Amino acid sequence: MLRRLPTAALLLAVLLAVLLSGFLVPGDTSFAPTDVVFPTGAALERARQVAAAWTGSESERIWRTGYYPFPPQQSWLPADFGSNRGAFAAFLGNRVDLGTDFPAPGGLGTVSFPDGRTSFLPLTDPRSHHEQYLARPRDTCTSEPCDTRITVTAVRLATRPQTTSRGTATVPVWEFDLAGLQEPYAIVAVDSQEPTGLRYTEDDENLPPGVSDVSYAYRDYDSPWRLEGDQAPRNCAESLPGAVYETADVLVLVGRTTGRPGDCEARTGRHSRFTFTRPLGDRVVLNLAGRPVLFPAGP
């Protein structure tokens, strides 16, 4: 016959199970990680300033309720550029002729978010997109062959999915049909509402030694306590496990390097892992420039 647990022991077991459940994730039998790295010194002070500046800011308001996309001025290339080298070379060289009229300027475009809400934003002028991104003359040839040209045969308003701070939204785009291609070139047709003047990343020269800013972060789907982050230290130093500063609202990533100059090609990136003390939840992930670097997935 099984012995009954004393009442006090049974209550203790239940309480322990409840407490542990706060640290467990379905399908994950591990506990909260012990390899968290916290910033210190000047890096800690900078992270505190970033976190304090975000809460209640215009950036936070737009992130929560406005149109905050990634990337802001997104464009989509025709897939069949890969089978038409001459057209692609003409596109890269801005040797693009206009063989059609533009839609009338003005009007509003609709941005539809996964939660069913919408925003109505002024449409950009497709003529300015053509002049800035397609037909601006280049001084030198950027890709062979250098004597090909391509013609825009139609311009129209359409929609595409785009990553935003509020999930994958449906956004208005300008589509440019190009002669000889099955798919159009497209560019988002409304401007981001994110504040202007915000640095993409903070320069290494403005950070403590051994600290390099994070340009973008990715989820580690094997653990709710970790992110992966991209860095590009100016001195090509090797990366170290990243440090994190946590509040109830934000997670500030502090990229760390050995500080020792290394050899690398231009734009060579480094990859770091950032571990924090509790699952991310709906907290916003910021770099040391105060810019969000992790965008939520769509529905």
For the chain (299 residues), the mean pLDDT of every run of 10, in chain order, is 46 43 41 86 98 96 97 94 93 95 95 97 96 87 91 98 97 97 97 91 95 95 92 92 97 95 79 94 96 88
Partners of 273 in the beta sheet?
228
- Give the per-residue pLDDT at 17: 43
Beta-carbon contacts of 130 under 8 Å, excluding residues fewer than 6 positions away, are 96, 98, 102, 152, 155, 176
Query: 3-class SS at 244?
Result: strand
- Of 98, 88, 94, the residue nearest 126 (C-alpha): 98
Longest dimension (CA), the chain: 92
- Give the per-residue pLDDT at 226: 94
- Give the per-residue pLDDT at 12: 45
Amino acid at 77: L
Beta-carbon contacts of 219 under 8 Å, excluding residues fewer than 6 positions away, are 227, 228, 294, 297
What long-range pairs does 43-50 form, CB within 8 A, spacing at least 24?
43/207, 43/208, 43/211, 43/243, 43/254, 44/245, 46/207, 46/208, 46/254, 46/288, 47/245, 47/252, 47/254, 47/288, 48/245, 50/245, 50/250, 50/252, 50/286, 50/287, 50/288, 50/290
pTM: 0.84
Alpha-carbon gap, residue 13 to 64, rounded angstroms: 41
- Give the per-residue pLDDT at 269: 84
Beta-carbon contacts of 136 under 8 Å, excluding residues fewer than 6 positions away, are 94
